[in-house]
Amino acid sequence: MELLELFHQGGLVMYPLLLCSIIAIAILVERVRTYSAAKSNMERLREEVPVLAAANNEKGLEELCAEDGGVAAEMLNAAIRRQTVKSKNAALQGAAGAIAGRLRSRLSYLETIVTLAPLLGLLGTVTGMISSFSVLSVSDGQPFAITGGVGEALIATATGLCVAIVALVIHSYLVHKQDGLITDMEEIGNVYMNAAVGVTAEEGMANAN
Q: Which one, of 185, 199, 178, 198, lies nearest residue 46 by Cα?
A: 185
Rounded to whole angstroms, the Cα distance separating 23 from 32 reads 14
Asked if residue 87 is part of any domain, the answer here is: yes
DSSP single-letter state for residue 141: S
Evaluate whether residue 53 is within a structural domain: yes
- Note whether residue 208 is domain-resident: no
Residue 11, sorted as left (phi over 0), alpha (psi -120 to 50) or beta, turns out to be: left
Nearest to 162 by CA among 102, 118, 97, 203: 118
Q: Which amino acid is at 124?
A: G
Question: Taking residues 150-176, what's their average pLDDT?
Answer: 88
Judged against a pLDDT cut of 70, whether residue 123 lies above it is answered with yes
pLDDT the model gives residue 85: 84
What is the distance between the alpha carbons of residues 30 and 141, in angstroms, rounded to a whole number?
51
Is residue 191 domain-resident? yes
**Predicted local confidence at residue 169, as pLDDT:** 96
CA distances from 139 to 81, 121, 144, 197 (A): 84, 30, 13, 86
Residue 209 lies in a domain: no
Find out whether 153 and 124 touch, Cβ atoms under 8 Å. Answer: yes
pTM value? Answer: 0.80
- CA distance linking residue 193 with residue 187, whole number of Å: 10
- Residues 110-122: tens digit of each pLDDT: 999 999 999 998 8
Q: Binning pLDDT at 50, 70 and 90, where does residue 147 land?
A: low
Range of the domain at 107: 2-203
Helix 14-38 / helix 107-136 crossing angle, nearest 10 deg: 170
* The pLDDT value given to residue 28: 96
Q: Who has greater pLDDT, 19 or 202?
A: 19
**128 versus 102: which is more confidently predicted?**
102
pLDDT at 203 over 70: no
Number of structural domains, the chain? 1
Q: What is the model's pLDDT at position 35? A: 94
**Residue predicted with more confidence, 38 or 130:** 38
pLDDT at 139 over 70: no
Note whether 41 and 70 are within 8 A (CB): yes
- Residue 52 maps to a domain: yes
- What mean pLDDT is reported for the chain? 83
- What is the amino acid identity at position 32? V
End-to-end CA distance of the chain: 85
Give a yes or no: residue 146 inside a domain. Answer: yes
| For range 140-155, the mean pLDDT | 59
The answer to whether the Cα torsion of 170, 176, 41, 99 is positive or negative is positive
pLDDT of amino acid 200: 46
What integer is the mean pLDDT of 38-59? 89
Cα angle at 179 between 37 and 175, to 5 degrees?
85
Is the pLDDT assigned to residue 9 strictly greater than 60? yes
105 assigned to some structural domain: yes
Task: Give residue 126's pLDDT band: very low, low, confident or very high (50, 70, 90).
Answer: confident
